[in-house]
Amino acid sequence: MTAARVDTLIELLAMRAGETGDKQAFTFQNQSTTFSELWQRVNYFASFLLACDIQRGEPVLILLPNGPEFFPAFYGVQCAGGIAVPLFPGSSVERVEGIAQHCGARLLVLPFDQKGKFAQSTLQAVCVDEAQAVTTPPEFPAIQPDDISFLQFTSGSTGNPKGVMLSHANLLTNVQQLITGMQITERDIFVSWLPVYHDMGLILKTMVPFFLAAEVHLLPTDLSSVRTWLKAIEARRATFTAAPDFAYRMAIRFADESIDLSSLRVALNAAEPVRAGTISEFERKFDLNHVMTAGYGLAEATVGVSMTEPGQGPYVDARGLVSVGRPFPDIEVKIIEGKSILPPGQIGEIIIRSAANSLGYFNNPRETARLFWRDGFLLSGDLGYLDEAGNLFIAGRKKNIIKHAGETVAAQEIEEIVDAGRGVRASAAVGVDRGTLEGEQVYVFAEVRGGDYEAWEETVIEIVEAIHARLGLRPGKVYLIRPHGIPRTYNGKIQYGLLKDLYVSGKLRDEGQILFPDY
């Protein structure tokens, strides 16, 4: 069975309902939905939206958590001719209203029990469950491959929202690039707790299996422990899972090594810098061999750009950077500095050309203009290099480089040292410039669990010692903070800008996040 002939995601779902209707599309916490059930619910909701007078190309905000309701909402909007705008379900009313205003949305899809949350808002709240009552015979607009399927709002400042426009053609292109590049087949079994309202969880972990009619088991994102995730892999004999490095580090620390993960073919490590230590320790702990792959991607290129080959094992360079593999088919990656393309081995900004490249940010021509280099290449904002064989290595974010006494330090390098420390749960390093002579200094924020004043004092001394021993510099300040004190995106990426803002504005202290020191 091939889905290669479909041109839109709506055609894909219609084809799946027609040809594999009785097959399970996905399970959520063991509750199964078939492709024909899914298609029926999509149609119900699309009809309901037409009755709400949805216009062609009208963005509709979706604030639904992982669960069976998300998909009828997400595809129902598109089937009715609108643009889906999935947002973090816990978003504040202000953020949601800001995005609604930015993209001109008037409709908002909410879980039934949360309809009251936006009672004061001018937005019209609707629920997927309301759709059943609508009996309008469906006559849906024809969806074209270049129509925008959904907007992926990237983390960033609330004042300047950036909604990446992804067309059906972008998505179907990247889905097939992922399938070929990751050697995915319809026999793969997916387990995922990643948010379905965000790119990796949505595209890799649901669109790809829908495309192939492969088995996918979804979990809530609010995993109370990594155990839930790993136990699901064991129970389902899953072959494919994906998570940021952070989640695998949690698994190394807190999960029981007796959990059987031997069914895994690929445990993709992406969305965050990949650490060599995470790969080796995870595989050692669960007795796996060359299962963890390192990947790279970004919303502006739909989601996936490259991954190491399954079964090949990690490829680490002399600096300790883990390769994220070669680009997927029909994706060109180059490294530039300013106007010129750099030769292999030299670090510069990563640029990408692919049919999966977004057209830009919705209603934001200024940021869209900044996104592109020339000849159809987009600027990733990430730093890296290509080796002679074409393997890509990520050296950090263009914007998260700390300049310490004229030397460039990647935050990632410091975080790896800090995370290895006793009692440290996770850490983030940012450059803080107090406006004095010595310039930008490394500030370390380390999340710790429990402990007392004496233990914290020892932890800080150890952190400073370790950084000094490895990098020959000492941080300007080390703060020990509460677990989850480091702000992250839904996919687990550290939000450095926000962390810095919270610290500099004094909010981090005022909100009681800083445990040590008390000045």
Residue 388 vs 518, nearer CB to other proteins = 518
Q: Which residues pair with 430 in a beta bridge?
A: 443
Which parts of this chain interact with other proteins (CB under 8 A)? Answer: 405, 434, 436-438, 441, 457, 460-468, 473-474, 476-478, 517, 519
Residue 116 vs 506, nearer CB to other proteins = 506
Nearest-approach distance from CB 476 to other proteins, in angstroms: 5
Sole residue written with tokens 């990947």: 295
Residue 434 vs 484, nearer CB to other proteins = 434
Cβ–Cβ under 8 Å, residues 317 and 393:
yes
Residue 218 vs 417, nearer CB to other proteins = 417
Q: What is the distance between the alpha carbons of residues 131 and 46, in angstroms, rounded to a whole number?
A: 8
Q: What is the distance between the alpha carbons of residues 420 and 83, in angstroms, rounded to a whole number?
A: 44
H or E stretch including 284?
Answer: helix 276-285
Nearest-approach distance from CB 498 to other proteins, in angstroms: 22
Cα–Cα separations (whole angstroms), residue 386 to 16, 268, 443: 39, 20, 30
Nearest-approach distance from CB 474 to other proteins, in angstroms: 5
Nearest-approach distance from CB 246 to other proteins, in angstroms: 26
Residue 472: alpha-carbon gap to chain centroid: 33
Residue 117 vs 474, nearer CB to other proteins = 474
Distant-in-sequence, close-in-space partners of 302: CB < 8 Å, separation ≥ 6? 166, 170, 171, 173, 174, 199, 203, 354, 356, 357, 358
Nearest-approach distance from CB 496 to other proteins, in angstroms: 20
Q: What angle do CA 342, 381, 363 make, to 5 degrees?
A: 130
Nearest-approach distance from CB 460 to other proteins, in angstroms: 5
Residue 287 vs 458, nearer CB to other proteins = 458
Residue 145 vs 476, nearer CB to other proteins = 476
Sole residue written with tokens 């677990």: 483
SS3 sequence, 32-63?
Answer: EEEHHHHHHHHHHHHHHHHHCCCCCCCEEEEC
Phi-psi region of 271 (alpha: psi -120 to 50; beta: other; left: phi over 0): left
Nearest-approach distance from CB 439 to other proteins, in angstroms: 9
Residue 451 vs 476, nearer CB to other proteins = 476
Residue 512 vs 517, nearer CB to other proteins = 517
Token code pair at residue 212: 């192939």
Residue 139: alpha-carbon gap to chain centroid: 35
Nearest-approach distance from CB 249 to other proteins, in angstroms: 24
Residue 299 vs 417, nearer CB to other proteins = 417
Q: What is the distance between the alpha carbons of residues 78 and 149, in angstroms, rounded to a whole number?
A: 6
Nearest-approach distance from CB 465 to other proteins, in angstroms: 4
Residue 232, burial from CB neighbour count under 10 angstroms (0-12, 13-18, 19+): buried
Cβ–Cβ under 8 Å, residues 353 and 341:
no
Nearest-approach distance from CB 417 to other proteins, in angstroms: 12
Q: What is the distance between the alpha carbons of residues 281 and 287, in angstroms, rounded to a whole number?
A: 10
Cβ–Cβ under 8 Å, residues 296 and 272:
no
Residue 159 vs 472, nearer CB to other proteins = 472
Token code pair at residue 71: 């998909």
| Helix, strand, coil share of the chain (percent; to 5) | 35, 25, 40
Residue 392 vs 478, nearer CB to other proteins = 478
Nearest-approach distance from CB 463 to other proteins, in angstroms: 7
Residue 488 DSSP symbol? B
Residue 161: alpha-carbon gap to chain centroid: 17
Nearest-approach distance from CB 258 to other proteins, in angstroms: 38
Q: Which residues pair with 350 in a beta bridge?
A: 335
Sole residue written with tokens 């983390």: 155
